[in-house]
Amino acid sequence: MLALASLLTIAVAVSASVLPVRPERRLADADFLKRQKQVLDLFVGVGHSQHFKNEYADWDFAANFGSFTDEKYPKQFWEAYQRGFISRHAIYSLACHKTRHETIKLFDVFYFAKDFDTFYKAAIWAKNHVHPGMFTYAATLALYQRHDTQAFYVPPVYEIFPTLFVPAETLHHVYDDKLTGIKEGHYNYNDTGYEYVAHNQKYGSVWSTDNRGHSEYRISYFREDVGLNSFFGDWFIKNPAWMCPEKYNKPYLHRRGENFYYTLKQIFARYNLERLANGLPYPDVLEWTKPVRVGYNPRINYANGQSFFIRPDNFVPFDNNVADVSYAQQQERRVWDAVDAGLIFELSNKSTIPLDDHNGIELLGRLIFGTNDRPSGKYYRSLYYAGLDALAYVVSTGSDRSLAGGALSTHLTALRDPLWYSYAARLLILFQHHKRTLGRYTKDDFYYNGVKVENVEVDKLLTYFDHFDYEATNALPMEHTEDYTTYKYFVRQFRLNHKPYRFNVTVKSEVAGDALERVFLGPKYDSDDHLLTIDQASNAYFEVDRFPVKLTAGVNVWERSSTESPIFVRDHEGFRSLYSSVNNALNQKEQFYVSEVGKCGFPERLQLPMGWKGGRTYVLGVVVTPYDPTHSSGKYTEDIACGGSRLYDNRPVGFPFDKPAYSDAFHVPNIYFKDVNIYHKDAADVNRPSA
């Protein structure tokens, strides 16, 4: 009898279901494939071909104002263009107001084109006439935002603008080969971290300069990961601060504030895990008037050939850039005042808006990110950009239209620089201060009556480094557009990766209903091997999965694979493989699937921090909470957890680590912490403490 009962329990258990989150993919038809190919063509040789030739290259912009949903958009653009746009050879930066306004006008042309063909003709025109950076930004943005283009694949930005990713000396090698007639090559490069082991006497010995702060270079493989940086660049293209949700009918942009907070927090948590994996303590918090201990040499160039600036060690932001730092400090003070007062001043009608539990984090996020729907836009400027500009542009440049700066000067390169994380820490303190004013989480906030996580089983977690090849061909000028097919220059970066893993969550429930499961990875020990409390570790808890489930009364077991997580996305396919897939599909040699979604997310490779040879212990936290599917509109929206609104309940994103909690609050049956070990293969290769 007993045996039968437990058999029945198991029968119930295996049938537990995870609710689907992403829409189905569909097969591409010939029309789609033709246009997908046109979309790829847009980005080939961008900035090099003085005149990109194709059937639309002679399209007359000024004669086609009628092809837009409203003539005022092409007209406004055309007038501005006649007055003069940023030079094609300048450095493109949205930090310059004029450049930003020009970019928005170009985007409007793309966005309000009546149909795909008009969009495409206008894009070809722009490719031949405006700055390549502006063209690429506006075209990518339009492809993401136009309802008829969202399904197309856009090549990864490290293949569109390799100069922002590939070290200058590696590209130099590629140029040399091209000039001497070599049409193909593979070029390895090392991240700046290798400097740490390169010089026997200076690094690693008792005379090591390591003790002076350069141990930061141990994790350059993380900061300089091309997937990480293109993810971050993409995030800003999907959530532009300047974009007005009403004008473009994008209601989801109204979540930019909280989304911004959570993106910062996730990246910061993930970075901290990588630091701990390398024996490094949490990063310093930026102080405007104190030396930044660690300098940074980006070793990369802007697309026009100019190098990014190096920041020496012990650079003091305030001393070097008084005006911009003072401005950032002033903005910071205003936001701090709002947080301390618990309200925002709305100057337009002299009222106040409370920063409350309900909407506070969203509003605060808007203030700090500086979205155009923030309250009192004239009083609260963008703190995020004010601070970045103060840190990025420390050497005065010739013109406001050609802003050369450090790695922090573009979203595509900012995460390379250790200073970004110190700056993020400073902003996160401000966010968390607001969260703390709302009170800490207590047990009651977490408790789910009748639901108990009984067990979590995880496969062996294993990380390793592997070679990742991407193409740098687009960095070079070619005589004919077709040459981009025959010339092939691949660069190779050493990147962290991990074996896919599965885990089982067993939940015993007295109730049936819908629930949401969140899975986090956090540190157990700090860099000195001290056991961390949850409070101490909470800023390093990184969300790795989120999925809605149907809970049945009894025992439920969910088996889940790391590849199913909506938070991560695989490396995007490069130019060459996209072209070949499309061509093969057109010739009916293979099938090409389109998915409206699933192209956003944090790089899948970076799910796990580098393990240790003998295993390093982390904590997997599983949180099960009630979920009301009626809150989800079923509509897909872009955010860090890429499943859209189906992954939202009415809780803040990042829950339960989004705000401080009393440490006993986590002692509830529906939250389970499991120690897990992460191992690493290939001991000798990378700079890491002996395990």
Ligand X SMILES: *[C@@H]1O[C@H](CO)[C@@H](O)[C@H](O)[C@H]1NC(C)=O
Task: Please identify which residue in 54, 188, 449, 580 interacts with ligand X, judged by CB under 6 A.
Answer: 188
Q: Does 691 bind ligand X (CB under 6 A)?
A: no
How many CA atoms within 13 Å lie on the side-chain side of 533? 10
CB of residue 295 to ligand X, shortest distance in Å: 20
Nearer to ligand X, 337 or 457 (CB): 457
What does each C-alpha distance from 538 to 12, 340, 432, 529, 659 come to in angstroms? 35, 23, 11, 17, 9
CB of residue 375 to ligand X, shortest distance in Å: 6
Q: Does 351 bind ligand X (CB under 6 A)?
A: yes
What does each C-alpha distance from 288 to 127, 207, 483 come to in angstroms? 40, 31, 49
Residue 435 neighbours by CB under 8 Å, 6+ apart:
361, 658, 659, 660
Nearer to ligand X, 346 or 590 (CB): 346
Nearer to ligand X, 73 or 221 (CB): 221
CB of residue 189 to ligand X, shortest distance in Å: 5
Q: Which stretch in 73-81, 381-389, 499-507, 604-612 sits in contact with ligand X by CB under 6 A?
A: 499-507
Q: Does 686 bind ligand X (CB under 6 A)?
A: no
- For residue 162 the two structure tokens come to 């390799």
CB 177 within 8 A of CB 185: yes
CA distance 607 to 611: 12
Task: Please identify which residue in 72, 101, 502, 667 interacts with ligand X, judged by CB under 6 A.
Answer: 502
CB of residue 586 to ligand X, shortest distance in Å: 38
Segment 94 to 123, residues that bind ligand X, using CB under 6 A: none
Helix, strand, or coil here: 551? strand
Task: Please identify which residue in 152, 189, 627, 666 interacts with ligand X, judged by CB under 6 A.
Answer: 189
CA distance 142 to 183: 34
Helix ranges, 224-380 (H): 226-238, 256-277, 317-320, 322-341, 360-369
CA distance 534 to 657: 9
Q: Does 349 bind ligand X (CB under 6 A)?
A: yes
- For residue 261 the two structure tokens come to 């907070």
CB 197 within 8 A of CB 204: yes
- For residue 646 the two structure tokens come to 């189906």
CB 677 within 8 A of CB 461: yes
CB of residue 564 to ligand X, shortest distance in Å: 14
Q: Does 356 bind ligand X (CB under 6 A)?
A: no
Nearer to ligand X, 14 or 30 (CB): 14
Nearer to ligand X, 175 or 194 (CB): 194
E strand or H helix at 619, and its extent? strand 616-626
Q: Does 347 bind ligand X (CB under 6 A)?
A: no
Q: Does 458 bind ligand X (CB under 6 A)?
A: yes
Helix ranges, 130-167 (H): 132-145, 157-160
Q: 551 phi and psi, to 5 degrees?
A: -95, 130
Q: Does 346 bind ligand X (CB under 6 A)?
A: yes
CB of residue 376 to ligand X, shortest distance in Å: 8
Closest CA to 618 of 688, 544, 675: 675
Segment 265 to 284, residues that bind ligand X, using CB under 6 A: none
CB 691 within 8 A of CB 612: yes
Task: Please identify which residue in 176, 340, 559, 682 interacts with ligand X, judged by CB under 6 A.
Answer: 559
- For residue 89 the two structure tokens come to 């050879």
Helix ranges, 370-482 (H): 383-392, 418-437, 443-446
CB of residue 188 to ligand X, shortest distance in Å: 5
CB of residue 557 to ligand X, shortest distance in Å: 7
Task: Please identify which residue in 11, 198, 429, 531 interacts with ligand X, judged by CB under 6 A.
Answer: 198
Nearer to ligand X, 125 or 217 (CB): 217
Number of residues that bind ligand X (CB under 6 A): 17
CB of residue 353 to ligand X, shortest distance in Å: 7
Residue number of the CB atom closest to ligand X: 457
CB of residue 642 to ligand X, shortest distance in Å: 24
Segment 374 to 413, residues that bind ligand X, using CB under 6 A: none
Q: 228 phi and psi, to 5 degrees?
A: -60, -45
CA distance 110 to 126: 10
CB 518 within 8 A of CB 622: yes
Q: Does 190 bind ligand X (CB under 6 A)?
A: yes
- For residue 96 the two structure tokens come to 């310059």
Task: Report the DSSP pairing between strands 488-498 and 184-188.
Answer: parallel
Q: Does 503 bind ligand X (CB under 6 A)?
A: yes
CB of residue 331 to ligand X, shortest distance in Å: 20
CB 641 within 8 A of CB 632: no
Residue 4 neighbours by CB under 8 Å, 6+ apart:
none
Q: Does 457 bind ligand X (CB under 6 A)?
A: yes
Nearer to ligand X, 456 or 578 (CB): 456
Q: Does 359 bind ligand X (CB under 6 A)?
A: no
Nearer to ligand X, 147 or 350 (CB): 350
Nearer to ligand X, 504 or 583 (CB): 504
CA distance 688 to 691: 8
Helix, strand, or coil here: 118? helix
Nearer to ligand X, 346 or 466 (CB): 346
Residue 326 neighbours by CB under 8 Å, 6+ apart:
318
Nearer to ligand X, 313 or 459 (CB): 459
CB of residue 589 to ligand X, shortest distance in Å: 37
Q: Does 459 bind ligand X (CB under 6 A)?
A: yes
- For residue 507 the two structure tokens come to 């939940």
Q: Does 504 bind ligand X (CB under 6 A)?
A: yes
Nearer to ligand X, 111 or 203 (CB): 203
CB of residue 195 to ligand X, shortest distance in Å: 8
CB of residue 128 to ligand X, shortest distance in Å: 36
**Residues interacting with ligand X, by CB under 6 A?**
188-190, 194, 197-198, 346, 348-349, 351, 457-459, 502-504, 559
